[in-house]
Structure 1
Amino acid sequence: MAHSLRTVPPQLAERYRAEGWWRGRSLLEDFLEAVAKQPDKAAIVAYRAGSPLPTTLTYAQLGGLVDRLAGAMLDMGVEREDIISIQLPNGWEFPVIALAAQRAGAIPNPIPPIYRERELRLMLGHARSKLLFVPDDFRGFPHGEVGRRLQADLPTLQHVVVIGDESDTQGPRWTADLLGERRELDPALKCKLDARVPTGEDIALLLFTSGTTGMPKAALHTHDTLWASGLPMPWAMELTGDDVAFMASTLGHLTGFYWGMLLPLSTGQKVVYQDVWDAPAALDLIEQEKITWTLSATPFAQDLVDAQEKSRRPVTDLRAFACGGAQIPPALAHAVKEHLGAELISLWGCSEGGTTTIHRIGTPIEMVAASDGHVVPWQELRIVDEDLQPVATGESGRLQVRGPGVFVGYLDQPEFTADSMTSDGWFETGDLGRQVTDGGIRFTGRSKDIIVRGGQNVPVVETENILISHPQVADVTIVGYPDERLGERGCAVVVPAGAPPTLKDLTDHLAQAGMAKQFWPERLEIVDQLPRTASGKIQKYLVRARLLETPRQLTS
């Protein structure tokens, strides 16, 4: 795998180790240490929609299940650096599988449940995943059936485990075959697993990110870079093992996987999950479970405020709600403080570069609303123009980062890895921003051709490629437009071929192609032509500007 990774200059690597930003230690070791120190403490409390009671696992129980499943993975032939893909709703099963994969020396690959067959085929095929874990059915979608079809088509996908269907005879059964035997009691297994414990330099995670190419990018973090990328959160919010975390965002995304799973479980915290977002129920959980902090997209914070305004209830322990991916409206920051008693913490970062700017707890609301935080001590950030020259304070430019939290490259995509780094060693985030007067950084937009809808990147190019095949579409581009709740939504701007299509025509076409509903455009504008450069590229900034001036006539 090393052939596709970038090399960190030795002097920088030495500095990162000397400063303690790289530890040479895995997050799995931190978790195993927590299991040994506090076996009887609750580790996970998982709530499932429609179930009257949650599932609670202590650290001892969680550690036992991790070793049990890791032993089953060895029996299935899992080798070091094999990819284990996980597409599950938030619940206790996800951490068991992810940690068991690391315990067996493999690499977990979290995948959000919203992805459908088209996206999964690309991801699993590129990663050469050996195992896939999916639910039988989640929110009406037959993940198990899709998994079986993919297994028949992908030669490297040896096993598909369908959780929730114990009658399945086509693959190993979750309870009967994988968790039924108490393998963790075998001393010989512990020796085998201990020999596979990863180091800081080993790959901790494979995460697919949506970009401008239409092909998902397979980002890799080591345990060192992943740990460093997550340092800002406990530092800024002063978290300890006594804190209680809540995660509403999917564990299939970096937000949930690291801050909603690895961080709390490696520091000895209790973490609370909902499999389906329910704001009123979440307010009840905050009080019942004594939740003290969470991290999610801005719409989740707004939902909690709205639910509290409709039906007030005590919320005594929540002190911090971290938000990224969109500017925080001052009114929302005030509302979170008034209705939830918590501070809204704004931040900026990306999957590959880690969290680079953040506000610390105790920052005045006016400062939180004015920027996305200050650069953390262990990361470097520069704002440059197209010639890589620094821009003046207040001017927008390209945000580039360097530091111990930057990823190590894209799996078997050396061209993407090379393109993401400048010649002098900075990671090109594809984001734009400016420095405000107090030194904070304000994210202002994206040079990458993506839309961020409720914290989820929308693969614009892939969506456009499908829409252009519609018989009533001669030309098309998709751009984002502001949305108060989700931050952005997508608008399809279409040059028709004959009779103009309706929005339903386009979404039906995307549905037939197997694209996730969250990626569909939610607005349609019909135009005679799209503005282009001399080289033929669509001038999206002009399209966006005109869109903002156009009344919404064709909206879902």
Structure 2
Amino acid sequence: MNHAELVISYARTHCDRVAVQMDGSALTYGELAASSEALAIGLQQAGIGLGDRIMMFAENSIECLVLYHAVARIGAVFTPVHVSFRVQELAYAISNARPKLIVTTTDQLDVLDMGLNETGHDARIVLLNGTGAPGAGQTRYSDLFSRSGSCVPVDVSPKHPLLISYTSGTTSLPKPVLRSHGAETWSAQSYQKAWGFESGDRLLVAMSLSWVYGLCSLCQSAFAAGATVVLEPKFSPTRTLALIEAGQVTAFAGTMSMYAMMLNILEERPFDTSSLRKAFLGGEPRNEVAVEKIEARLGLRLCEGWAMTESFPVLAVHPTRDRQAPVACLGRVVPGVELRLVDGNGQDVADGEPGEAWVKGPGDFLEYSDEPELTDARRTSSGWVRSGDLLRRGDDGYYIFVTRQSEIIIRGGVNISPVEVESAICAHADIADAVVVGLPDSVLGEIVAALVITRSDKPLDAEAITAFVSERIARFKVPAKLFRVESIPAGTTGKKNRTEARKIATLLEAEAVQVGVHKF
């Protein structure tokens, strides 16, 4: 088998259908297959072979998808890293992957040079842009393409490595998740069925292709359906809504934070979103109030899913088959996947009780590349992948997200889910968004604190917000500290960065400031 067959097989019968478009450029399925083949030949001529690592350090582009499928053809390993990676993170990825080639842009060269100097690693640099002559050890991306010959995809084992995804770490260096041809192909085909992607879909992908959500869960699943990927360099709520209004997008997938930003725009000005047929939510816990409002605005249910870089898909809500699914559920288990909810002793919990999700399925990762201790900590001796997320299963077979174990606030020995508190705060008409964290307390262990964004520059009325929230959740969960900020700190994936939020709240608490606008 070979993951590249995902595109090649569809190109044989539908070569003229558009596979991907970005700004004014586009590739049909036939052109995507031909371009990846020409690049694969060029990579082989450059000495790249089975198991060699090819790194990409650049913004989203059509070239990224061409390169991914070219790398797959020859049995090499694709290792994308996010453009926000600084020297320490980049140096780790370079020393871990030891790439032979690094594809990048001229504006990333300074950071890349520092990362290479930090590790002492020597790699050939391939430039996607630039007008001058390439420097020593550099090659133009366009010069790698061969204009003759053929490259039949290498027949590899389903367990053959294909991708290293460097997950975004907030308390440690990124983890190098090594995924295989078999896992990637199964995952794409399973997501296509679980989320109902069809050939007529035009799926907007504004997620970074350095993460599996954008590259795999969305792009590869769209390719499995013969759909069109409408690729964006980065997420813009206004541009996303404009593309939907122009009829260029029929399907969209985003995190809770992305939908919250779209909602803020929609509350300021109208957009015609009637062309949107499917909307998907994942990657971040939901804000129930924001979900209700965005669903009303779009006239669609946000179909959720739950998975992790180490194993996907696991749970999903299908746009048509699950129309009667309970509100706020993550869906049912995807066929072929096993899911257990366990307590702290690894024993299964009863339906209705929260437990850590353990997963086993064809979409599981191989290992953390060259990090055996990390791998052993994540995977049990019997092969289950520990998620670190607490879920609850209903009698109907649908699952509900509870919280992440690492984010639980323990106040006086009682566990508090920050997601529940955020939903209660955001129900207030004056609040646009919030992030909740725990702060150290000498008596209670931790107290609840919240960074909030108010609507239309309204002042923060801490007493009114506290009274409002107290009517919705237990008093011990109500934030003891409220801080008004201009924006919520987010990680490179767009998710709320609670580690950074905790630092900001700690700083503001030390300054004894709870009113006013705070920049960071």
> How would you bin the TM-score normalised by the shorter chain?
0.7 to 0.9
State the Cα deviation string for residues 313-367 of structure 1 (Å, max 9, x = none): 3323322221123333444344333322332011211111212112221477884
Distance across 1 between alignment mates of 2:251 and 2:52 = 34
Q: Does 1:177 align with 2:177?
A: no
For residue 399 of structure 1, report the CA deviation from its aligned partner. Answer: 1.1
Which of residues 284, 294, 308 is equivalent to 1:336? 294
- 1:12 match: none
- Paired residue secondary structure (1:521): helix
Q: Does 1:59 align with 2:29?
A: yes
User: What runs of 5+ residues in structure 2 fail to find an aligned partner?
Assistant: 410-416, 427-431, 443-490
Map residues 371-390 of structure 1 onto 2, 5 A cutoff.
Answer: 371-390=329-348
- 2:63 match: 93
User: What runs of 5+ residues in structure 1 fail to find an aligned partner?
Assistant: 1-24, 48-53, 138-142, 452-478, 496-514, 530-549
- When residues 303 and 372 of structure 1 are mapped into structure 2, their CA distance, relative to the original with a 3 A threshold, is same
- 1:151 match: 116
For residue 153 of structure 1, report the CA deviation from its aligned partner. Answer: 4.5
Structure 1 stretch displaced more, 483-492 or 159-168: 483-492
Q: Does 1:525 align with 2:475?
A: no
Which of residues 93, 105, 123 is equivalent to 1:135? 105
- Paired residue secondary structure (2:314): strand
Map residues 273-352 of structure 1 onto 2, 5 A cutoff.
Answer: 273-288=231-246, 290-352=248-310
- When residues 366 and 194 of structure 1 are mapped into structure 2, their CA distance, relative to the original with a 3 A threshold, is closer
Distance across 1 between alignment mates of 2:441 and 2:233 = 37
- 1:359 match: 317
Q: Does 1:194 align with 2:159?
A: no
- Paired residue secondary structure (2:279): strand
Asked if structure 1 preserves the Cα contact closer than 8 Å seen for 2:207 and 2:234, the reply is no
- Paired residue secondary structure (1:346): strand
For residue 171 of structure 1, report the CA deviation from its aligned partner. Answer: 3.6
- Paired residue secondary structure (1:36): helix
State the Cα deviation string for residues 157-211 of structure 1 (Å, max 9, x = none): 42122322232323434355334xxx2x423xx1xx2163544332221112246
When normalised by structure 2's length, the TM-score is: 0.76
- When residues 384 and 33 of structure 1 are mapped into structure 2, their CA distance, relative to the original with a 3 A threshold, is same
For residue 243 of structure 1, report the CA deviation from its aligned partner. Answer: 1.7
Which of residues 78, 98, 113 is equivalent to 1:108? 78
For residue 41 of structure 1, report the CA deviation from its aligned partner. Answer: 2.0
Distance across 2 between alignment mates of 1:516 and 1:201 = 29
The residue type paired with residue 358 of structure 2 is Q
Q: Does 1:434 align with 2:370?
A: no
- When residues 210 and 338 of structure 1 are mapped into structure 2, their CA distance, relative to the original with a 3 A threshold, is closer
Distance across 2 between alignment mates of 1:344 and 1:528 = 37
Asked if structure 2 preserves the Cα contact closer than 8 Å seen for 1:84 and 1:107, the reply is yes
- When residues 419 and 66 of structure 1 are mapped into structure 2, their CA distance, relative to the original with a 3 A threshold, is same
For residue 282 of structure 1, report the CA deviation from its aligned partner. Answer: 1.4
Structure 1 stretch displaced more, 280-289 or 384-393: 280-289
Distance across 2 between alignment mates of 1:493 and 1:325 = 28
For residue 433 of structure 1, report the CA deviation from its aligned partner. Answer: 1.9
Asked if structure 2 preserves the Cα contact closer than 8 Å seen for 1:27 and 1:262, the reply is no
Asked if structure 2 preserves the Cα contact closer than 8 Å seen for 1:107 and 1:203, the reply is yes
Distance across 2 between alignment mates of 1:78 and 1:366 = 50
- When residues 104 and 155 of structure 1 are mapped into structure 2, their CA distance, relative to the original with a 3 A threshold, is farther
Asked if structure 2 preserves the Cα contact closer than 8 Å seen for 1:210 and 1:450, the reply is no
Q: Does 1:79 align with 2:36?
A: no
Asked if structure 2 preserves the Cα contact closer than 8 Å seen for 1:493 and 1:524, the reply is no
Which of residues 26, 33, 46 is equivalent to 2:22? 46
Distance across 1 between alignment mates of 2:117 and 2:440 = 38
Distance across 2 between alignment mates of 1:488 and 1:524 = 10
The residue type paired with residue 186 of structure 1 is S
Asked if structure 2 preserves the Cα contact closer than 8 Å seen for 1:81 and 1:105, the reply is yes
- When residues 439 and 263 of structure 1 are mapped into structure 2, their CA distance, relative to the original with a 3 A threshold, is closer
Distance across 2 between alignment mates of 1:99 and 1:301 = 30
- When residues 197 and 213 of structure 1 are mapped into structure 2, their CA distance, relative to the original with a 3 A threshold, is farther
- 2:6 match: 30
Distance across 2 between alignment mates of 1:205 and 1:552 = 47
- 1:472 match: none
The residue type paired with residue 115 of structure 2 is L
The residue type paired with residue 174 of structure 1 is R
- When residues 332 and 366 of structure 1 are mapped into structure 2, their CA distance, relative to the original with a 3 A threshold, is farther
When normalised by structure 1's length, the TM-score is: 0.72
- When residues 277 and 159 of structure 1 are mapped into structure 2, their CA distance, relative to the original with a 3 A threshold, is same
Asked if structure 2 preserves the Cα contact closer than 8 Å seen for 1:346 and 1:372, the reply is yes
- When residues 149 and 76 of structure 1 are mapped into structure 2, their CA distance, relative to the original with a 3 A threshold, is farther
Q: Tell which has more relative contact order, 1 or 2 (C-alpha 8 A, sep 6+).
A: 1
For residue 78 of structure 1, report the CA deviation from its aligned partner. Answer: 0.9
Distance across 2 between alignment mates of 1:440 and 1:153 = 48
State the Cα deviation string for residues 254-293 of structure 1 (Å, max 9, x = none): 1001033222234322110111322222122224354222
- Paired residue secondary structure (2:4): helix
Distance across 1 between alignment mates of 2:91 and 2:433 = 28
For residue 150 of structure 1, report the CA deviation from its aligned partner. Answer: 2.9
Asked if structure 2 preserves the Cα contact closer than 8 Å seen for 1:112 and 1:250, the reply is yes
For residue 251 of structure 1, report the CA deviation from its aligned partner. Answer: 0.8
Q: Does 1:163 align with 2:150?
A: no
Map residues 400-415 of structure 1 onto 2, 5 A cutoff.
Answer: 400-415=358-373
- 1:512 match: none
- When residues 396 and 480 of structure 1 are mapped into structure 2, their CA distance, relative to the original with a 3 A threshold, is closer
Distance across 1 between alignment mates of 2:321 and 2:200 = 22
- When residues 247 and 488 of structure 1 are mapped into structure 2, their CA distance, relative to the original with a 3 A threshold, is farther
Distance across 1 between alignment mates of 2:324 and 2:153 = 51
Count matched residues: 448
- Paired residue secondary structure (2:352): coil
- When residues 361 and 348 of structure 1 are mapped into structure 2, their CA distance, relative to the original with a 3 A threshold, is same
- Paired residue secondary structure (1:280): helix
Asked if structure 1 preserves the Cα contact closer than 8 Å seen for 2:256 and 2:287, the reply is no
